[in-house]
Amino acid sequence: MKQSEIVQLTKDEIIEKLENESAALEQLKMNHSVSQLENPMEIRAKRKTIARLNTELTKRELNG
């Protein structure tokens, strides 16, 4: 998910996406520990998306 897409989301949508992405990341990590993932770069992409969502949420809280 790109930053330009995240900016257009509402605060509630960002929180919901953050919860979904975090759960998906945990599932990917679990699957990766059991067996090899087809594309292990998915873990990095999920982490970056979570960071982008957290950054936007923090930015909105600071700006009021």
Residue 64: band (very low, low, confident or very high) from pLDDT cuts 50, 70, 90: confident
pTM recorded for the entire structure: 0.91
Domain residue limits, the chain? 3-63
Indicate the fold that domain 3-63 takes in CATH: Helix Hairpins (1.10.287)
CA dist., res. 48 & res. 54, Å (int): 10
Residue 41, pLDDT score: 96
Nearest to 45 by CA among 20, 16, 25: 25
CA dist., res. 13 & res. 9, Å (int): 6
Condensed to tens digits (0 to 9), the pLDDT of residues 5-62 reads 999 999 999 999 999 999 999 999 999 999 999 999 999 999 999 999 999 999 999 9
